[in-house]
Chains A and B, each alone.
Chain A
Amino acid sequence: MGGWAIAVHGGAGVDPNLPLERQEAAKQLLTRCLNLGIAALRGSLPAIDVVELVVRELETDPFFNSGRGSALTENGTVEMEASIMDGEGRRCGAVSGVTTVKNPISLARLVMDKSPHSYLAFSGAEEFAKKQGVELVDNSYFITEDNVGMLKLAKEANTILFDYRIPLETTCGGAMESPIVMNGLPISVYAPE
């Protein structure tokens, strides 16, 4: 039997010209979340509780695309989704299309623990959230200035961004010169998750 291990991610696909201070901010958040999980593991919390705890932290911080700081739909709103799975017994829970649940991962956990199903979506998921008494907030809580600007750029580029964000103005020029293409689009329309 090996010891404990943990990994976290904040999205794949990073603009090669991401400013150093944003790279640093991302690393600090990832380190903070790792340390949160490590402390829980040293306290003998079970794996299923640790993954929920760490993803809640990532949802609450606006840096990455989840919870507060989520990417915006074509209408400028936020629709979030999450899933969780316990390897012991292969139990699982998932939600989609939630717009007012502060921590979607905890609602997914409740679907796993407190419902006869493994996946609830849109109005059904919101109804279940109310019944379970999870923390609800207005959709505007999830929308950040950063993302409003990026949605505007995405619309101007007439594209859907795969978990990426338009490089910041300062880096756009640099990215525009890079010949790299991803999914058929110049890397300049993507930006790191």
Chain B
Amino acid sequence: TVGCVVVDGQGRCAAATSTGGLMNKMTGRIGDSPLIGAGTYACDLCGVSCTGEGEAIIRGTLARDVAAVMEYKGLGLQEAVDFVVKKRLDKGFAGLIAVSNTGEVAYGFNCNGMFRGCATEDGFMEVGIWE
């Protein structure tokens, strides 16, 4: 699975996710990536893209929950990401990337590593795999 989240200079957020799904999956199986609110979500507050164990991401409505805890609990972006990865995945394994309309970027995962890269306008740039 691959994904990208962006907030542009006007504060507009967007998210996109694409995948081949699971190796050896049954034909006709649908995972989290095409499900809005599970693998992908964007609103005026943030943009989120998820990857990992699709069935756990769907059950946890992971992407929407990042936006929801920002909206209803007033959490900041990284706090929201940490909360959702810690509390919404039950025994599942997944990771996600997110941006906020104020130009922040965040990610979180509870499995072995996640291929990710992030950058902000003030010059920050990071590409990583492990913790």
User: A residues within 8 A CB of B61?
Assistant: none
Please state if B4 and A33 are interface contacts (CB–CB under 8 Å).
yes
Say yes or no for A82: interface residue by CB 8 A criterion.
Answer: yes
Interface string of A117-147 (1 = CB under 8 A from B): 0110110000000000000000000100001
Interface string of A1-18 (1 = CB under 8 A from B): 111111111111111101
Please state if B19 and A82 are interface contacts (CB–CB under 8 Å).
yes
Please state if B16 and A6 are interface contacts (CB–CB under 8 Å).
no
Within the complex, what minimum Cβ distance (angstroms) separates A46 from chain B?
6
Please state if A96 and B93 are interface contacts (CB–CB under 8 Å).
no
Please give the number of chain A residues whose Cβ is less than 8 angstroms from any Cβ of chain B in the complex: 95
User: A residues within 8 A CB of B28?
Assistant: 79, 97, 122
Q: CB within 8 Å of A: which of B63-105?
A: 92-105
User: A residues within 8 A CB of B19?
Assistant: 65-66, 70-71, 80-82, 163
- Cα A82 to Cα B1 in complex, Å, equals 9
User: B residues within 8 A CB of A75?
Assistant: 27
Interface string of A139-178 (1 = CB under 8 A from B): 0001000010011001100011111110000000000000
Known: A51-B16, A193-B115. A92 touches B36 (CB 8 A): yes
Known: A7-B118, A14-B112, A79-B21. A27 touches B127 (CB 8 A): yes
A-B contact count (CB 8 A): 361
- In the complex, the chain A residue whose C-beta lies closest to that of B28 is A97
User: A residues within 8 A CB of B101?
Assistant: 2, 87
Please state if B44 and A88 are interface contacts (CB–CB under 8 Å).
yes
User: B residues within 8 A CB of A121?
Assistant: 30, 34
- Cα A139 to Cα B16 in complex, Å, equals 22
Known: A14-B113, A16-B112, A119-B34. A48 touches B4 (CB 8 A): no
Please state if B2 and A66 are interface contacts (CB–CB under 8 Å).
yes
Please state if A79 and B27 are interface contacts (CB–CB under 8 Å).
yes
Q: CB within 8 Å of A: which of B1-38?
A: 1-31, 33-36
Say yes or no for A100: interface residue by CB 8 A criterion.
Answer: no
- Cα A44 to Cα B107 in complex, Å, equals 24
- Cα A178 to Cα B31 in complex, Å, equals 29
Selected from A18, A90, A154, A162, the residue in CB contact (under 8 A) with B93 is A162
Residues of B within 8 A of A (CB): 1-31, 33-36, 39-47, 49, 51-54, 92-107, 109, 111-122, 125, 127-130
The 6 closest A-B CB pairs, nearest first, are A2-B103, A70-B20, A3-B121, A12-B95, A14-B113, A10-B115
